[in-house]
Amino acid sequence: MGSRHDKEKAVNVQVLLRCRPFNEDELRNNAPQVVTCNDYQREVSVTQTIAGKQFDRVFTFDKVFGPSAKQRDLYDQAVVPIVNEVLEGFNCTIFAYGQTGTGKTYTMEGECRKAKSGPKGQLPADAGVIPRAVKQIFDTLESQNAEYSVKVTFLELYNEEITDLLAPEELSKITLEDKQKKPLPLMEDGKGGVLVRGLEEEIVTSADEIFSLLERGSAKRRTAETLLNKQSSRSHSLFSITIHIKEATPEGEELIKCGKLNLVDLAGSENISRSGARDGRAREAGEINKSLLTLGRVITALVEHLGHVPYRDSKLTRLLRDSLGGRTKTCIIATVSPSVHCLEETLSTLDYAHRAKNIKNRPEVYAAREKVGVYIPKERYYQEESERKAMAEQIEQMSVVIETGQKRLDDLQGKYDAELEHSVESNQKLLATEKQLEHTSKLLASATEELKQTKYALTEKDYIILQQRKAENALAHQASVLRSDLEKSVQDNASLYSKIAREDKLNATNRSVVNNFQAELAGKIGVLCNTITLSTKQQNEYLQTVEKLCQSCLDFHDKAALELRKKVLASKSLFLSHIEAVQNVVRLHKAGSTAGLEEMSSMISANCCSFDQLLALGEGEADQIFCDLEKKLSEHRGEIAHFTHELRERFNTSLIRVKEFSQFIHELLEKFGEEKKKLHAHSSRVHEAHAKCIGEFQKAYEEQSKVEQDKLLSEITNLVSSHMRRQKELVDVRLATLEEAALENKETAEKLTSMLDVVNSDAKRKWEEFYKQAEHDFTDGSNFSAAKHCRMEFELQQCVSIVDVASQQWKKTHASVNELSSKHAVEMDVHIRTAIDVNEQHDVDVASARDAAADAAAKSSADIIQCCEVAMEHDRKCAQEVMAAVETHATAIRELQEEHAVQGAEINKQAENTFQHNFTDYEPTGETPVRSEPDVPSKGMIECLRAMPMETLLEDFRENHPYESSKESKPSLIPRSPLAQRN
C-alpha cells in the first residue's frame, strides 16, 4: 500500500512526442526536414529560418520517438506501464494530439484496425496502442486467474454532438441518416463526473470481442463520415475500457478493483483557415476548434493555477475533466511531421504539448476508495448489470420521449411565433389595406359625385336638346302652316294689290326669311353632298383596296398553288427515288443475307466436320491418355510393389544391423568389464608398486642416511640431524600425501568403476528397451506398410475401373455429341432455308408494297393537283365576282351621287321657281276679294314658338330636376345603364 500511497500523490501529465517518417508526397517533393529527434536525450529540435538566419528551438519531453520508432517501441516504453496501472485500479487516459496526417490514428489504432490476433496470438507490427492495450489487459487478467469483468464504450464527438459508435443498428428504427446523427446528451453523475446518457456499454470476455467491437465502431464512424462528407480529422473519438477485478486483501477482505483506460484520438489541431472549412462548415470547424480551444484553455488554467478551469465550455473537456487535473493518470502523445511544410503547426503542437507537461493530476486507486464494496457473485453481477442496462435503456427511451416532446414543443413554439409574426404582418397589411380602402372610398365618392354631375349635365343637355327639337319641330310646323297660309293668302289676295302694300313689307320680310331658309337649306344640302362625295370617295378607295387585296390574294394563291404543285411533283420524284433506294437496299440485303446464310451453312457444315475431326482427335488423344494412364498405373503398381519389397528388405537389413549392433554392444560391454577388471588389477598393482616403492625408498633412504651419518657424524652432527629431521619430515609428508593420493585415486577409480557399472547396466537396459521398441516398431511399420500397400493396390484397382468407366462415358458422350452436332447442322440448314424463303417472300411483299405506295402517291399527288386547280378556279371566280360586285357598287354609288346632285339641283331649281313663282310682285286683277283677316301668326306667336333661351331652359330643368349631391347619399354600386338608353 506504501507504493500505492506514493502513486496517489500529485503527478504531472506525461507527454510523449512522436515524429512520423516522411510520407510519399514529402519524399517526392524533397521537402526539407526541420524536426530532429534525440530519443535518448528526450529532445526534439526544430530548425527555423528567420531572415536568412537559422534558429533551433529545443523541446524536452518525457519520451521522444523519432521517425524510426516502431509501434511496438512506443507501446513497450510508454504504454505498458500505464496499462499496468490500469490493472492496479487507476484511471488512465492517453490522448493523441497533433495536426491532421501526423499519425494520431496510426498511433492509437494502427494501420490494421481489425487487429485480430495473428498466429500464436501475435498482433501485426502496425497494430497501435488500442489493440496492444486490449491484448495486454486480457493476457494479464487471464494469467492472474482472478475474477474480472471488462466493459467498453466507444463514442465519437463531432460538432459538439456525441454519437455512440457501438449502438446496435437494429434498435434504432429511424432512417440511416438519423441513426448516424443521433446525438447523445451529457449528464452530471452527481459525483462531479459526467455520464453520456444512453451510451452503450458492452461487456466483453475476450480480446477478440473487443477487436470486433472496435471494428464495428470504426466502420460506423467511417459510414457516418461518408454520409456526412466529413473526415476523421474533424472528429474526436474516445474508446474506454473499464476493468473490475476481484481481489483478496491480506486481511481476508474481498474488494473489487476498478481501473479505466481512456484512449482518445483527437481531431486535427490545425486552425479553421488551414482546415479548409468554409461557409456551412464554419460552424463545424468552429465547434471542433471550440473543443480543442477549450482543451487549450483548460490546460492553461491548470498550468497557471487559475481559479476557474473552463471544463464546462466544451463537451470534450467535460468528458475528459477527470483526466485533466483530476484523479486520472494522463499521457499525451503529441504527433508531428518532420517536414518544413508543417513547421507552423509543428511548433504550435510542440508548444501546446510542452505546456501540458505542467498539468498535475492526483491519481487514485479506485479500489481504495471503494473499500467498503462487497464481493458480488458473478451471476448476480451480470444480472444487476443487465437490469442496470435495461433501466438505462428505459431512461434512454424516456429521454427520447422527452426529447421528442421537447422538440415538438419547440416546433409548436416556433410555429406559434411564426403565426404571431404572421398575424402582426397581417394586421399591418390590414391597416394598410383599410387606409387604402378609405382613400379608394374617398376617390370613389368623388368619382361617383363627378359621375353624377356628369350624368346630371348629360340629362340637362338631353333636356335642352329635346326642348330645342320640340321648338324646331313647332317652328317647322308653324313655317309650313305659315307657308300654306301664305300661299293661300297670296292666291286669295292676289287681286288685293292695293291692300298688299302694307303687306309688302311683310312679304319682303317673308321672302328674306324664305331666302334665308333656302340658302340655309342649300348650304345643308351642299354639306350633305360633300359628305356623300367624301364617303363615296372613301368607299371607292376602300373598294380599290379590296380589289387590290383580292388581286394580291389571287396572285399569292396562284403562286402558292404553283409551288405546291412543284413540291408535290418533287416529293413524288423523291418518293420514287426513295422507293428505288429501298428496293436497292432490300436487294442488297437479300443478296447479303443469302450470301451470309449460305456462308453460315457452309461454315456450319465445315464446323461440323472439324468438330467431328476434333472429337475423333480428342477421342484418340483421350484413348492415348487412358492407355498412358493405365500404363503408368501398372508401372506405379510395379514400383510400389518393388518399393514395398525394398522396404521390407531394408527393414530386415536394419533389423540384422540392429542385432549386429546389439551384439557389438554386448561385446563392448564385455570388453568394458574386462577392461574394468584390468583397471582394478592395474590399480591394485599400482598400489602395491607404490607401497613397494615407498618401502624401497624408505629403505634406500635409511641406508643412505646411515652412510651419510657415519660419514659426517662427527662433523656436522647438529646440521645433519636437523637436516635429516627436516628431510624425514618432508619425506613423511610426501609419503603421506602420496599415500593419500593413491588412496584417493583408488577410491575414485572404484567410484568410476561402480559408476561405469551403473551406466553400463543402464545402457544395457535402455538398449534392450530400445531394441524391443525398434523390433516392435519394425513389426508395426511393416504391418502398416503392408496394409498401406493393400490399400494402395485396392485404390489403384478402383482407379483403373473408374478410368474404364470414364473411357466408356467419354465414348458415349462423343457419340451423343456427334449425333447432336449432326442434328444441329440439319436444324440449322432447315432454319437457313426457311430464312431464305422468308427473305424472298419479304422481298415480294416489299416490291408489291412499293408498287402500291407508288400508285397511291401518284394518285394522291394527282388528287392534290386537281384539288389545287379547282381551288384556284374557285378563287379566281370569287375574285371576279368580288370585282364585279365592287364595280356594281361603285357604279351604284356613282349613280347615286349623280342622281343626288341632279336631285339637289332640281330641288334648288324647284325651290327657286317656287319662290320666284310664289313671290312675284302683286298685279292687280280687279277682283279684290272681300277683305278677310288672314290667320297669320303674329311675331309674338312665332317668337313664342322659338325655343327658350339656354339659361331659361337650364333654370327650368334645374327647377324640375333638382341636383342631389351623392355626398349625402350612398353611391350606387350597380353599374349605370348605357347612355344610349337615356338618349
Ligand X SMILES: Nc1ncnc2c1ncn2[C@@H]1O[C@H](COP(=O)(O)OP(=O)(O)OP(=O)(O)O)[C@@H](O)[C@H]1O
Pairing outcome for strands 91-98 and 254-265? parallel
If we measure between CA atoms, which residue out of 492, 488, 486, 477 comes closest to residue 508? 486
Q: Check if the beta carbon of residue 349 is closer than 8 Å to that of residue 34.
A: no
Residues lying near ligand X in the complex (CB under 6 A): 20-21, 23, 98, 100-106, 111, 231-233, 268, 335
Distance of CA 776 to CAs 205, 349, 653, 768, 789, Å? 49, 75, 15, 12, 19
Q: What is the CA radius of gyration of the chain?
A: 69
Instruction: Measure the CA angle with vertex 316, ends 313 and 322; round to 5°.
Output: 95
Cell output for 843: 422481298
Helix (H, G, I), strand (E, B) or coil at 333: strand
| Integer Cα distance of 153 and 157 in angstroms | 13
Does 920 carry a binding-site annotation?
no
**How long a stretch of residues is the chain?**
983
Q: CA of 773: how far to CAs of 429, 510, 658, 777, 780, in Å?
A: 115, 184, 12, 6, 10
CA–CA distance, 563 with 926 (Å, rounded to integer): 94
343 vs 349: CA distance, rounded Å: 10
Judged by phi (left if over 0) then psi (alpha if -120 to 50, else beta), residue 110 lies in: left
Buried b (16+ CB within 10 A) or exposed e, 113-126: bebebeeeeebeee
112 versus 893: smaller Cβ distance to ligand X? 112
Q: How far is the CB of 120 from ligand X (least distance, A)?
A: 25
**Cβ of residue 153: shortest distance to ligand X, in angstroms?**
20
Q: Is 888 annotated as ligand-binding?
A: no
**Least separation in angstroms between CB 225 and ligand X:** 10
Whole-number minimum distance, CB 292 to ligand X, in Å? 12
- Closest distance of CB 231 from ligand X, Å: 6
Question: Who's near 488: CB < 8 A, 6+ residues apart?
Answer: none
**Quick count: other Cβ atoms within 10 Å of Cβ 363?**
22
- Was 781 annotated as part of a binding site? no
Q: How far is the CB of 55 from ligand X (least distance, A)?
A: 26
- Dist. CA 401–CA 861, nearest whole Å: 81
State which residue, 231 or 512, has the beta carbon closest to ligand X. 231
Query: Which C-beta is closer to ligand X: that of 91 or that of 314?
Result: 314
Gap between the Cα atoms of 597 and 374, Å rounded: 95
Task: State the minimum distance, in angstroms, from the CB of residue 22 to ligand X.
Answer: 10
Annotated binding residue at 98? yes
Query: Cα–Cα distance between 468 and 461 in angstroms, integer?
Result: 10
Tell me which residue has cell 443487465.
Answer: 386
In 3D, which of 56, 62, 14 has the Cα closest to residue 36?
56
- Residue 336 pairs with which residues in a beta bridge? 19
List the one residue out of 259, 324, 332, 262 whose CA is nearest residue 4.
Answer: 259
CA 254 vs CA 150, 380, 717: distances in Å: 18, 16, 93
The burial class, CB within 10 Å (0-12 / 13-18 / 19+), for 372 is: exposed
Tabulate helix, strand, coil % of the chain (nearest 5): 70, 10, 20
In the chain, the amino acid numbered 769 is E
Q: Determine if residue 914 is labeled as part of a ligand binding site.
A: no
- Shortest Å distance, C-beta 263 to ligand X: 13
CA distance 171 to 165: 13
Q: Which is nearer to ligand X, 77 or 897 (CB)?
A: 77
d(CA 446, CA 468): 32
Terminal-residue alpha carbon distance, the chain = 125
Task: Closer to ligand X by CB, 231 or 952: give it.
Answer: 231
Residue, CB closest to ligand X: 103
Q: Which is nearer to ligand X, 330 or 335 (CB)?
A: 335
Q: The C-alpha cell of 30 is what?
A: 524533397
CB of 341 to ligand X, least distance (A): 14
Tell me if 101 is assigned to a ligand binding site. Answer: yes
Cell of 333: 502523445
| Calpha distance 89→256 (Å, rounded) | 9
Residue nearer to ligand X on the CB measure, 275 or 510: 275
Nearest to 564 by CA among 879, 855, 878, 870: 870
List C-alpha distances in Å: 870 to 32, 324, 327, 571, 712: 97, 106, 112, 21, 192
Give least dist CB 325 to ligand X, A: 25
| 8 A C-beta contact, residue 361 and residue 326 | yes
Would the annotation count 404 as a binding residue? no
Residue with cell 473499464: 242
Instruction: Using alpha carbons, select from 67, 65, 91, 88 the residue that is nearest to residue 78.
Output: 65
Residue 99 C-beta: closest distance to ligand X, Å: 7
Asked if residue 533 belongs to a known ligand binding site, the reply is: no
Binding-site residue numbers are 98-105
Give the residue numbers of the binding site for ATP.
98-105
